[in-house]
Amino acid sequence: MASTAPSPARPAVALTGVGKRFPGVVAVSDVTLSVPPGEVHVFAGENGAGKSTLMKLVAQVEPPTSGTIELDGRSVGYQGPGAARRLGVSMVHQEFALAPDLSVAENLFIGHEPGRWGWITRAGERRAARDLLARVGLDVDPNRRVSQLSTAEQQRVELAKALAVRAKVLILDEPTASLTERETAELFGIVRELTAQGIAVLYISHRLDEIFEIGDRVTVMRDGAVVATRPVSELDEAELVRLMVGRDVDNLYPRSHASPGEVRLRVSGLSRGDRVRDVSFEVRAGEIVGLAGLVGAGRTELARSVFGAEPPETGTVELDGATLRIRTPADAIAAGIGYLTESRKTDGLALQLGVDKNITMARLPMRGGLIDLRTERSVAERSRDGLRIRVPWVGRPVRLLSGGNQQKVILARWLETGAEVLFFDEPGRGMDVGAKSEMFQQMDELAARGKAVVFISSYLPELLNMCDRILVMRGGRITGEVPRADFSEERVVALATGARDES
Protein backbone atom coordinates (compact mmCIF):
# COMPACT_ATOMS: atom_id res chain seq x y z
CA MET A 1 0.00 0.00 0.00
CA ALA A 2 1.92 2.98 -1.22
CA SER A 3 1.28 6.29 0.47
CA THR A 4 -0.51 8.87 -1.64
CA ALA A 5 1.66 11.96 -1.22
CA PRO A 6 0.07 15.40 -1.44
CA SER A 7 1.03 17.69 -4.28
CA PRO A 8 4.38 19.34 -3.49
CA ALA A 9 2.91 22.70 -4.60
CA ARG A 10 0.46 22.71 -1.70
CA PRO A 11 0.87 22.41 2.06
CA ALA A 12 -0.09 19.04 3.50
CA VAL A 13 -1.97 20.92 6.20
CA ALA A 14 -2.68 24.63 6.60
CA LEU A 15 -4.36 26.39 9.50
CA THR A 16 -5.78 29.90 9.31
CA GLY A 17 -7.01 31.67 12.44
CA VAL A 18 -7.88 28.37 14.12
CA GLY A 19 -9.21 28.62 17.66
CA LYS A 20 -10.93 26.45 20.23
CA ARG A 21 -12.92 27.61 23.23
CA PHE A 22 -14.31 25.55 26.06
CA PRO A 23 -16.62 27.07 28.69
CA GLY A 24 -14.49 29.65 30.47
CA VAL A 25 -11.26 28.54 28.74
CA VAL A 26 -9.50 29.53 25.52
CA ALA A 27 -7.56 26.35 24.69
CA VAL A 28 -6.30 27.42 21.24
CA SER A 29 -6.18 31.01 20.03
CA ASP A 30 -5.88 32.22 16.41
CA VAL A 31 -3.30 29.73 15.12
CA THR A 32 -2.09 30.27 11.57
CA LEU A 33 0.61 28.04 10.06
CA SER A 34 1.25 25.59 7.25
CA VAL A 35 3.23 22.37 7.03
CA PRO A 36 4.57 21.12 3.67
CA PRO A 37 4.71 17.47 2.65
CA GLY A 38 7.71 15.57 3.97
CA GLU A 39 8.39 17.87 6.94
CA VAL A 40 8.71 16.89 10.59
CA HIS A 41 7.02 19.82 12.31
CA VAL A 42 7.48 19.74 16.08
CA PHE A 43 5.04 21.35 18.49
CA ALA A 44 6.64 22.33 21.80
CA GLY A 45 5.42 24.04 24.94
CA GLU A 46 4.45 23.41 28.54
CA ASN A 47 1.54 21.19 29.53
CA GLY A 48 -1.65 23.12 28.91
CA ALA A 49 -0.08 25.20 26.14
CA GLY A 50 -2.63 23.90 23.63
CA LYS A 51 -0.49 21.48 21.58
CA SER A 52 -2.63 18.37 21.98
CA THR A 53 -5.86 20.33 21.57
CA LEU A 54 -4.58 21.80 18.32
CA MET A 55 -3.67 18.34 17.06
CA LYS A 56 -7.17 17.10 17.96
CA LEU A 57 -8.60 19.88 15.81
CA VAL A 58 -6.48 18.77 12.85
CA ALA A 59 -7.50 15.13 13.43
CA GLN A 60 -11.16 16.21 13.83
CA VAL A 61 -11.41 14.72 17.29
CA GLU A 62 -12.79 18.14 18.29
CA PRO A 63 -14.46 20.81 16.11
CA PRO A 64 -12.71 24.21 15.98
CA THR A 65 -14.58 27.22 17.31
CA SER A 66 -13.09 29.49 14.66
CA GLY A 67 -10.83 29.47 11.63
CA THR A 68 -10.28 27.10 8.73
CA ILE A 69 -8.27 23.92 8.22
CA GLU A 70 -7.03 22.89 4.79
CA LEU A 71 -5.69 19.47 3.82
CA ASP A 72 -3.74 19.26 0.57
CA GLY A 73 -5.16 22.64 -0.45
CA ARG A 74 -8.80 21.76 0.25
CA SER A 75 -10.78 23.36 3.07
CA VAL A 76 -12.38 20.73 5.28
CA GLY A 77 -15.21 21.16 7.74
CA TYR A 78 -15.66 19.13 10.90
CA GLN A 79 -16.95 15.65 10.15
CA GLY A 80 -15.32 13.59 12.93
CA PRO A 81 -12.17 11.47 13.24
CA GLY A 82 -13.41 8.82 10.80
CA ALA A 83 -13.70 11.44 8.07
CA ALA A 84 -10.26 12.80 8.96
CA ARG A 85 -8.73 9.36 8.46
CA ARG A 86 -10.42 9.07 5.07
CA LEU A 87 -8.88 12.43 4.19
CA GLY A 88 -5.44 11.12 5.12
CA VAL A 89 -4.98 12.41 8.68
CA SER A 90 -3.98 9.84 11.30
CA MET A 91 -3.13 10.50 14.94
CA VAL A 92 -1.09 8.23 17.19
CA HIS A 93 -1.96 9.18 20.77
CA GLN A 94 0.43 8.84 23.71
CA GLU A 95 -2.02 6.33 25.19
CA PHE A 96 -2.28 3.66 22.49
CA ALA A 97 -5.72 3.16 20.93
CA LEU A 98 -5.35 -0.56 20.31
CA ALA A 99 -7.71 -3.41 21.16
CA PRO A 100 -5.44 -5.71 23.20
CA ASP A 101 -7.51 -8.88 22.73
CA LEU A 102 -7.66 -8.57 18.94
CA SER A 103 -4.92 -9.65 16.55
CA VAL A 104 -2.43 -7.28 15.00
CA ALA A 105 -4.18 -7.58 11.62
CA GLU A 106 -7.61 -6.92 13.12
CA ASN A 107 -6.29 -3.80 14.85
CA LEU A 108 -4.77 -2.48 11.63
CA PHE A 109 -8.04 -2.58 9.73
CA ILE A 110 -10.71 -1.82 12.33
CA GLY A 111 -13.49 0.02 10.54
CA HIS A 112 -12.11 -0.55 7.03
CA GLU A 113 -11.60 -4.30 6.80
CA PRO A 114 -10.57 -5.63 3.37
CA GLY A 115 -13.27 -7.67 1.64
CA ARG A 116 -16.20 -7.62 -0.73
CA TRP A 117 -19.98 -7.29 -0.32
CA GLY A 118 -19.65 -6.95 3.46
CA TRP A 119 -17.56 -10.11 3.89
CA ILE A 120 -14.15 -9.74 5.54
CA THR A 121 -11.37 -11.50 3.66
CA ARG A 122 -9.06 -12.74 6.42
CA ALA A 123 -6.38 -13.97 4.03
CA GLY A 124 -6.33 -10.61 2.30
CA GLU A 125 -6.27 -8.87 5.68
CA ARG A 126 -3.18 -10.84 6.73
CA ARG A 127 -1.38 -10.15 3.44
CA ALA A 128 -2.08 -6.43 3.70
CA ALA A 129 -1.04 -6.47 7.35
CA ARG A 130 2.34 -8.03 6.50
CA ASP A 131 2.96 -5.31 3.91
CA LEU A 132 2.14 -2.56 6.40
CA LEU A 133 4.22 -4.11 9.19
CA ALA A 134 7.18 -4.39 6.82
CA ARG A 135 6.96 -0.65 6.15
CA VAL A 136 7.47 0.07 9.86
CA GLY A 137 10.12 -2.62 10.33
CA LEU A 138 8.02 -4.94 12.48
CA ASP A 139 8.38 -8.69 11.94
CA VAL A 140 5.53 -10.28 13.90
CA ASP A 141 2.75 -12.71 13.04
CA PRO A 142 -0.34 -10.67 12.01
CA ASN A 143 -2.46 -13.23 13.89
CA ARG A 144 -0.69 -12.48 17.17
CA ARG A 145 -2.71 -10.72 19.85
CA VAL A 146 -1.68 -7.14 20.51
CA SER A 147 -1.57 -7.81 24.28
CA GLN A 148 1.40 -10.12 23.66
CA LEU A 149 3.51 -7.38 22.09
CA SER A 150 6.05 -5.14 23.80
CA THR A 151 5.47 -1.39 24.12
CA ALA A 152 7.84 -0.68 21.23
CA GLU A 153 6.07 -3.25 19.04
CA GLN A 154 2.67 -1.75 19.88
CA GLN A 155 4.05 1.65 18.91
CA ARG A 156 4.91 0.27 15.47
CA VAL A 157 1.48 -1.30 15.13
CA GLU A 158 0.03 2.16 15.76
CA LEU A 159 2.23 3.56 12.99
CA ALA A 160 1.21 0.77 10.63
CA LYS A 161 -2.42 1.42 11.54
CA ALA A 162 -1.93 5.04 10.50
CA LEU A 163 -0.44 3.99 7.17
CA ALA A 164 -3.37 1.62 6.57
CA VAL A 165 -5.53 4.68 5.84
CA ARG A 166 -2.96 6.05 3.35
CA ALA A 167 -1.90 8.84 5.70
CA LYS A 168 -0.78 12.16 4.23
CA VAL A 169 -0.52 13.81 7.67
CA LEU A 170 0.70 11.74 10.63
CA ILE A 171 0.33 13.17 14.14
CA LEU A 172 2.59 11.70 16.83
CA ASP A 173 1.87 12.74 20.44
CA GLU A 174 4.84 11.98 22.73
CA PRO A 175 5.65 8.81 20.77
CA THR A 176 8.84 7.99 22.68
CA ALA A 177 7.45 8.34 26.22
CA SER A 178 7.67 4.58 26.85
CA LEU A 179 10.58 3.73 24.54
CA THR A 180 14.25 3.08 25.24
CA GLU A 181 17.05 5.03 23.55
CA ARG A 182 17.53 2.27 20.98
CA GLU A 183 13.81 1.97 20.27
CA THR A 184 13.61 5.75 19.91
CA ALA A 185 16.42 5.68 17.33
CA GLU A 186 14.55 2.99 15.40
CA LEU A 187 11.34 5.04 15.50
CA PHE A 188 13.19 8.07 14.14
CA GLY A 189 14.46 5.95 11.27
CA ILE A 190 10.86 5.02 10.42
CA VAL A 191 9.77 8.67 10.65
CA ARG A 192 12.51 9.69 8.21
CA GLU A 193 11.40 7.00 5.78
CA LEU A 194 7.80 8.23 5.98
CA THR A 195 8.76 11.86 5.37
CA ALA A 196 10.86 10.76 2.40
CA GLN A 197 7.58 9.40 0.96
CA GLY A 198 5.97 12.84 1.31
CA ILE A 199 4.10 12.28 4.56
CA ALA A 200 3.98 15.35 6.82
CA VAL A 201 4.64 14.50 10.47
CA LEU A 202 3.25 16.70 13.25
CA TYR A 203 5.26 15.75 16.32
CA ILE A 204 4.63 16.67 19.96
CA SER A 205 7.54 16.21 22.35
CA HIS A 206 8.83 17.48 25.68
CA ARG A 207 12.31 16.05 25.12
CA LEU A 208 14.62 18.78 23.91
CA ASP A 209 17.21 16.47 22.37
CA GLU A 210 14.48 14.81 20.27
CA ILE A 211 13.35 18.14 18.89
CA PHE A 212 16.84 18.93 17.64
CA GLU A 213 17.40 15.43 16.29
CA ILE A 214 14.18 14.78 14.38
CA GLY A 215 12.58 18.18 13.78
CA ASP A 216 12.78 20.36 10.67
CA ARG A 217 10.78 23.24 12.12
CA VAL A 218 9.32 23.83 15.56
CA THR A 219 6.22 25.77 16.59
CA VAL A 220 6.28 26.86 20.23
CA MET A 221 2.92 27.39 21.94
CA ARG A 222 2.11 29.09 25.21
CA ASP A 223 -1.36 29.70 26.69
CA GLY A 224 -3.04 28.41 23.53
CA ALA A 225 -1.25 30.77 21.16
CA VAL A 226 1.73 30.39 18.84
CA VAL A 227 4.77 32.15 20.28
CA ALA A 228 7.15 31.37 17.42
CA THR A 229 7.69 29.09 14.44
CA ARG A 230 11.35 28.61 13.57
CA PRO A 231 13.64 26.22 11.73
CA VAL A 232 15.16 23.96 14.37
CA SER A 233 18.62 24.76 13.00
CA GLU A 234 18.21 28.40 14.09
CA LEU A 235 17.59 27.58 17.77
CA ASP A 236 19.66 26.33 20.67
CA GLU A 237 18.37 24.59 23.78
CA ALA A 238 18.41 27.70 26.00
CA GLU A 239 16.44 29.77 23.48
CA LEU A 240 13.89 27.00 22.94
CA VAL A 241 13.31 26.62 26.69
CA ARG A 242 12.92 30.38 27.06
CA LEU A 243 10.28 30.41 24.32
CA MET A 244 8.43 27.50 25.90
CA VAL A 245 8.22 28.75 29.49
CA GLY A 246 8.43 32.52 28.92
CA ARG A 247 11.49 32.89 31.12
CA ASP A 248 15.04 31.65 31.45
CA VAL A 249 15.34 28.26 33.17
CA ASP A 250 18.75 28.54 34.77
CA ASN A 251 19.15 24.83 35.38
CA LEU A 252 16.86 22.05 34.26
CA TYR A 253 18.74 19.66 36.57
CA PRO A 254 19.18 21.56 39.86
CA ARG A 255 21.35 19.01 41.69
CA SER A 256 23.55 20.02 44.62
CA HIS A 257 25.83 17.05 45.25
CA ALA A 258 26.85 16.65 48.89
CA SER A 259 28.70 13.93 50.75
CA PRO A 260 26.24 11.10 51.52
CA GLY A 261 25.59 10.02 55.09
CA GLU A 262 24.93 6.63 56.64
CA VAL A 263 23.22 3.78 54.83
CA ARG A 264 19.46 4.21 55.08
CA LEU A 265 18.13 1.55 52.69
CA ARG A 266 19.85 -1.82 52.30
CA VAL A 267 18.42 -4.48 49.99
CA SER A 268 20.05 -7.93 50.09
CA GLY A 269 19.46 -10.91 47.80
CA LEU A 270 16.02 -9.80 46.65
CA SER A 271 14.39 -12.14 44.12
CA ARG A 272 10.99 -12.53 42.50
CA GLY A 273 10.78 -15.04 39.68
CA ASP A 274 12.77 -14.13 36.59
CA ARG A 275 12.02 -10.41 36.85
CA VAL A 276 14.15 -9.68 39.94
CA ARG A 277 17.07 -12.02 40.52
CA ASP A 278 19.33 -11.83 43.59
CA VAL A 279 19.51 -8.02 43.70
CA SER A 280 21.52 -6.27 46.42
CA PHE A 281 22.18 -2.53 46.77
CA GLU A 282 22.37 0.31 49.29
CA VAL A 283 21.22 3.92 49.34
CA ARG A 284 22.71 6.41 51.78
CA ALA A 285 21.20 9.47 53.39
CA GLY A 286 21.33 12.38 50.95
CA GLU A 287 21.93 10.17 47.92
CA ILE A 288 20.03 9.97 44.66
CA VAL A 289 20.81 6.55 43.20
CA GLY A 290 19.74 5.90 39.62
CA LEU A 291 18.38 2.67 38.17
CA ALA A 292 19.11 2.38 34.45
CA GLY A 293 18.37 -0.37 31.94
CA LEU A 294 16.34 -1.28 28.90
CA VAL A 295 12.58 -1.85 29.07
CA GLY A 296 12.07 -5.22 30.76
CA ALA A 297 15.36 -5.06 32.67
CA GLY A 298 13.51 -5.34 35.99
CA ARG A 299 13.81 -1.79 37.36
CA THR A 300 10.11 -1.22 38.01
CA GLU A 301 9.70 -4.79 39.28
CA LEU A 302 12.51 -4.19 41.77
CA ALA A 303 10.86 -1.02 43.06
CA ARG A 304 7.49 -2.75 43.34
CA SER A 305 9.08 -5.64 45.25
CA VAL A 306 10.69 -3.32 47.80
CA PHE A 307 7.37 -1.48 48.10
CA GLY A 308 5.41 -4.71 48.62
CA ALA A 309 3.25 -4.35 45.50
CA GLU A 310 4.91 -7.53 44.17
CA PRO A 311 6.34 -9.10 47.35
CA PRO A 312 9.78 -10.71 46.97
CA GLU A 313 10.17 -14.45 47.28
CA THR A 314 13.61 -14.20 48.91
CA GLY A 315 15.85 -11.50 50.32
CA THR A 316 15.72 -8.79 52.97
CA VAL A 317 15.01 -5.07 53.11
CA GLU A 318 16.49 -2.93 55.90
CA LEU A 319 15.79 0.69 56.78
CA ASP A 320 18.21 2.42 59.13
CA GLY A 321 19.57 -0.97 60.20
CA ALA A 322 16.19 -2.49 61.07
CA THR A 323 14.99 -5.48 59.03
CA LEU A 324 11.53 -4.91 57.60
CA ARG A 325 8.82 -7.45 56.88
CA ILE A 326 7.12 -6.08 53.78
CA ARG A 327 4.32 -8.17 52.28
CA THR A 328 1.99 -5.38 51.18
CA PRO A 329 2.26 -1.69 50.27
CA ALA A 330 0.68 -0.90 53.64
CA ASP A 331 3.70 -2.51 55.32
CA ALA A 332 6.07 -0.37 53.24
CA ILE A 333 4.13 2.82 53.94
CA ALA A 334 4.12 2.12 57.67
CA ALA A 335 7.89 1.50 57.55
CA GLY A 336 8.59 4.80 55.75
CA ILE A 337 8.88 3.84 52.07
CA GLY A 338 7.07 5.66 49.25
CA TYR A 339 6.77 4.80 45.57
CA LEU A 340 5.86 7.23 42.78
CA THR A 341 4.65 4.78 40.14
CA GLU A 342 5.48 5.18 36.44
CA SER A 343 1.78 4.72 35.59
CA ARG A 344 0.33 7.53 37.62
CA LYS A 345 -3.08 7.44 35.92
CA THR A 346 -3.63 3.72 36.39
CA ASP A 347 -1.68 2.89 39.57
CA GLY A 348 -0.93 6.19 41.27
CA LEU A 349 -4.13 8.21 41.36
CA ALA A 350 -7.85 7.88 41.96
CA LEU A 351 -8.69 10.08 38.98
CA GLN A 352 -12.31 10.80 39.89
CA LEU A 353 -11.45 11.92 43.43
CA GLY A 354 -10.25 15.36 44.45
CA VAL A 355 -6.71 16.51 45.04
CA ASP A 356 -7.36 16.41 48.79
CA LYS A 357 -8.50 12.76 48.81
CA ASN A 358 -5.54 11.70 46.69
CA ILE A 359 -3.03 13.41 48.97
CA THR A 360 -4.37 11.94 52.21
CA MET A 361 -5.39 8.43 51.08
CA ALA A 362 -2.16 6.80 52.33
CA ARG A 363 -2.60 8.32 55.81
CA LEU A 364 -6.15 9.39 56.49
CA PRO A 365 -6.72 12.07 59.15
CA MET A 366 -9.19 10.40 61.52
CA ARG A 367 -11.28 11.75 64.35
CA GLY A 368 -13.73 9.68 66.33
CA GLY A 369 -13.53 6.85 63.81
CA LEU A 370 -14.40 9.17 60.90
CA ILE A 371 -12.31 11.04 58.36
CA ASP A 372 -11.64 14.57 59.62
CA LEU A 373 -12.61 16.55 56.52
CA ARG A 374 -11.41 19.87 57.90
CA THR A 375 -7.95 18.47 58.64
CA GLU A 376 -7.91 16.74 55.26
CA ARG A 377 -8.57 20.03 53.51
CA SER A 378 -5.94 21.80 55.62
CA VAL A 379 -3.32 19.14 54.81
CA ALA A 380 -4.12 19.34 51.10
CA GLU A 381 -3.95 23.14 51.05
CA ARG A 382 -0.59 23.08 52.84
CA SER A 383 0.75 20.56 50.32
CA ARG A 384 -0.67 22.55 47.42
CA ASP A 385 1.08 25.71 48.55
CA GLY A 386 4.34 23.99 49.50
CA LEU A 387 4.71 22.05 46.24
CA ARG A 388 3.12 24.75 44.08
CA ILE A 389 0.36 22.45 42.81
CA ARG A 390 -1.57 24.61 40.37
CA VAL A 391 -5.15 24.10 41.45
CA PRO A 392 -7.48 26.78 42.91
CA TRP A 393 -9.59 24.31 44.90
CA VAL A 394 -8.23 21.16 46.53
CA GLY A 395 -11.53 19.35 45.92
CA ARG A 396 -10.97 19.56 42.16
CA PRO A 397 -10.85 16.08 40.53
CA VAL A 398 -7.24 15.12 39.97
CA ARG A 399 -8.00 13.91 36.44
CA LEU A 400 -8.36 17.55 35.38
CA LEU A 401 -4.78 18.42 36.36
CA SER A 402 -1.75 18.43 34.08
CA GLY A 403 0.75 15.58 34.27
CA GLY A 404 3.18 17.68 36.28
CA ASN A 405 0.59 18.66 38.84
CA GLN A 406 -0.66 15.08 39.10
CA GLN A 407 2.88 13.99 39.86
CA LYS A 408 3.13 16.61 42.60
CA VAL A 409 -0.08 15.26 44.15
CA ILE A 410 1.48 11.80 44.39
CA LEU A 411 4.67 13.27 45.88
CA ALA A 412 2.59 15.21 48.42
CA ARG A 413 0.94 11.93 49.46
CA TRP A 414 4.27 10.30 50.33
CA LEU A 415 5.59 13.38 52.08
CA GLU A 416 2.50 13.37 54.27
CA THR A 417 3.29 9.80 55.32
CA GLY A 418 6.76 10.90 56.46
CA ALA A 419 8.50 8.57 53.96
CA GLU A 420 12.28 8.35 54.43
CA VAL A 421 12.90 6.31 51.26
CA LEU A 422 11.33 7.41 47.98
CA PHE A 423 11.31 5.58 44.64
CA PHE A 424 10.70 7.89 41.67
CA ASP A 425 9.75 5.70 38.67
CA GLU A 426 9.94 7.68 35.40
CA PRO A 427 8.78 10.87 37.18
CA GLY A 428 9.37 13.12 34.16
CA ARG A 429 7.27 11.13 31.69
CA GLY A 430 4.76 13.33 29.89
CA MET A 431 5.91 16.47 31.70
CA ASP A 432 7.11 19.73 30.18
CA VAL A 433 10.52 21.24 30.96
CA GLY A 434 9.19 23.62 33.59
CA ALA A 435 7.38 20.86 35.48
CA LYS A 436 10.41 18.56 35.20
CA SER A 437 12.68 21.24 36.62
CA GLU A 438 10.33 21.64 39.61
CA MET A 439 10.18 17.86 40.17
CA PHE A 440 13.96 17.54 40.03
CA GLN A 441 14.22 20.45 42.48
CA GLN A 442 11.99 18.53 44.89
CA MET A 443 14.17 15.42 44.52
CA ASP A 444 17.28 17.47 45.26
CA GLU A 445 15.65 19.05 48.34
CA LEU A 446 14.57 15.63 49.63
CA ALA A 447 18.12 14.35 49.33
CA ALA A 448 19.42 17.48 51.07
CA ARG A 449 17.08 16.65 53.98
CA GLY A 450 18.70 13.24 54.35
CA LYS A 451 16.13 11.15 52.52
CA ALA A 452 17.24 8.14 50.43
CA VAL A 453 16.09 8.58 46.83
CA VAL A 454 16.00 5.95 44.08
CA PHE A 455 15.45 7.40 40.59
CA ILE A 456 14.33 5.16 37.71
CA SER A 457 14.48 6.64 34.21
CA SER A 458 14.84 5.46 30.62
CA TYR A 459 16.15 8.91 29.67
CA LEU A 460 19.88 8.88 30.38
CA PRO A 461 20.44 12.68 30.54
CA GLU A 462 18.14 12.77 33.59
CA LEU A 463 20.13 10.09 35.40
CA LEU A 464 23.52 11.51 34.44
CA ASN A 465 22.60 14.97 35.71
CA MET A 466 20.66 14.08 38.88
CA CYS A 467 22.28 10.99 40.35
CA ASP A 468 25.25 10.35 42.63
CA ARG A 469 25.57 6.75 41.42
CA ILE A 470 23.84 4.72 38.71
CA LEU A 471 23.02 1.03 39.08
CA VAL A 472 22.44 -0.68 35.74
CA MET A 473 20.04 -3.63 35.40
CA ARG A 474 19.72 -6.29 32.73
CA GLY A 475 17.66 -9.47 32.87
CA GLY A 476 16.49 -8.82 36.42
CA ARG A 477 20.03 -8.41 37.79
CA ILE A 478 22.28 -5.48 38.59
CA THR A 479 25.07 -5.78 36.00
CA GLY A 480 27.19 -2.90 37.23
CA GLU A 481 27.52 0.32 39.18
CA VAL A 482 28.78 3.58 37.67
CA PRO A 483 30.08 6.21 40.12
CA ARG A 484 29.55 9.86 39.25
CA ALA A 485 33.20 10.38 38.37
CA ASP A 486 32.84 7.78 35.58
CA PHE A 487 29.45 8.84 34.22
CA SER A 488 28.99 8.44 30.46
CA GLU A 489 26.11 7.35 28.25
CA GLU A 490 28.38 4.82 26.54
CA ARG A 491 29.26 3.05 29.79
CA VAL A 492 25.65 2.85 30.99
CA VAL A 493 24.44 1.57 27.61
CA ALA A 494 27.23 -1.04 27.50
CA LEU A 495 26.16 -2.41 30.89
CA ALA A 496 22.46 -2.29 29.95
CA THR A 497 22.91 -4.17 26.68
CA GLY A 498 25.67 -6.58 27.67
CA ALA A 499 28.03 -5.06 25.11
CA ARG A 500 31.72 -4.94 25.92
CA ASP A 501 32.55 -1.75 27.79
CA GLU A 502 35.69 -0.23 26.31
CA SER A 503 35.81 2.71 28.67
Angle at 85 between CA 7 and CA 149, to 5 degrees: 115
| Beta strand segments in 48-123, E | 66-71, 74-76, 89-92, 115-116, 119-120
Domains and CATH numbers, the chain: 13-94+158-245 (3.40.50.300), 265-497 (3.40.50.300)
Of residues 363 and 301, more confidence is placed in 301
pLDDT beyond 80 at 483: yes
Q: How confident is the model at residue 169 (pLDDT cuts 50, 70, 90)?
A: very high
pTM: 0.65
Strands 119-120 and 421-425: unpaired
pLDDT value for 111: 59
pLDDT digits (tens, 9 = 90+) for 126-154: 888 888 888 877 888 888 998 888 777 88
Contact 431, 459 (CB under 8 A): no
Of residues 150 and 211, more confidence is placed in 211
pLDDT digits (tens, 9 = 90+) for 283-301: 999 999 999 987 778 999 9
Angle between helical axes of 151-163 and 122-135 (0-180°, round to 10): 110
pLDDT value for 114: 54
pLDDT value for 502: 44
pLDDT value for 63: 93
What type of residue sits at position 146?
Answer: V
pLDDT beyond 90 at 226: yes
pLDDT beyond 80 at 402: no
Q: What percent of the chain has pLDDT over 70?
A: 92
pLDDT digits (tens, 9 = 90+) for 408-456: 899 999 899 889 999 999 888 767 777 788 889 889 999 999 999 999 9
Residue 77: Cβ-neighbour burial (10 angstroms; 0-12, 13-18, 19+): exposed
- The average confidence (pLDDT) of the chain is 86
